[in-house]
Amino acid sequence: MSHALTTDTVLADVVRPTLIERLTLAPAHMDLAYAEEALTRSVGRDLRLKKRLEEAGSQYEFVVIDSPAQLNVLTINTMAAATEVIVPLHSQYYSFVGLAQLLETIRMMQSWVNPGLVISGALVTQFDKKSALHRRALERLRTELNGKIRVFQTVIPHGLRAQQAAEFHTPVVRLFPNSPVARAYKDLAAEVARVQPA
């Protein structure tokens, strides 16, 4: 992926097929960290990914971009290219503390770079329904964001199956389709599809 951002390489030259039909992947490597440094001194640095996606045209139906949370040139690239942002939050209280800062970053992106950017929702992940701490944190999040940002009804549970699937480099919905984590991700897909802007 870093080549597509820092050189003349087009997206088609970095994407790889996967075992899943109609799913291709542009893998990130450690060298994305160097890309960040190289981009700092480059012309049009914030819009590199957007340009690459525009070149790809209608080749892809949906593009999912994984992004770092902290504000850097890679994050700016993802938010400049995206139409919607999903904000994943771990269920512990402390992960909600950085949320205000992240929302501020998104607002800055909306005013300076991508006015059409929509926050489609906050997604609580690794949720342990047996933990009172997690339940309180979720309740508080729903209250605090009420009327501001949608908190997805779907909550991704904490589950060993998610970790095992990562170990096998296979989506959990493929490897363990009936696990609670996989079912939650399928619910999320349906919920996201329902809120897609027309």
Enumerate binding residues for ligand ATP (CB under 6 A): 125-126, 156, 158-159, 162-163, 166, 181
**Strands in 29-147 per DSSP E:** 84-90, 118-125
106 vs 156 by CB, closer to ligand ATP = 156
Nearest approach in angstroms of CB 198 to ligand ATP is 30
CB-based contacts of 98, cutoff 8 Å, min separation 6 = 69
Nearest approach in angstroms of CB 182 to ligand ATP is 10
Angle of CA points 46, 50, 51, to nearest 5°: 100
121 vs 159 by CB, closer to ligand ATP = 159
**Strands in the chain per DSSP E:** 16-17, 24-25, 84-90, 118-125
Residue facing ligand ATP at closest CB distance? 162
Cα 64 → chain centroid: 7
Nearest approach in angstroms of CB 11 to ligand ATP is 21
Rounded CA-CA distance 10/64 in Å is: 17
Nearest approach in angstroms of CB 37 to ligand ATP is 19
87 vs 109 by CB, closer to ligand ATP = 87
79 vs 181 by CB, closer to ligand ATP = 181
10 vs 73 by CB, closer to ligand ATP = 73
Nearest approach in angstroms of CB 168 to ligand ATP is 11
Cα 32 → chain centroid: 16
**Strands in 53-172 per DSSP E:** 84-90, 118-125
Cα 37 → chain centroid: 22
Name the amino acid, one letter, at 38.
Answer: A
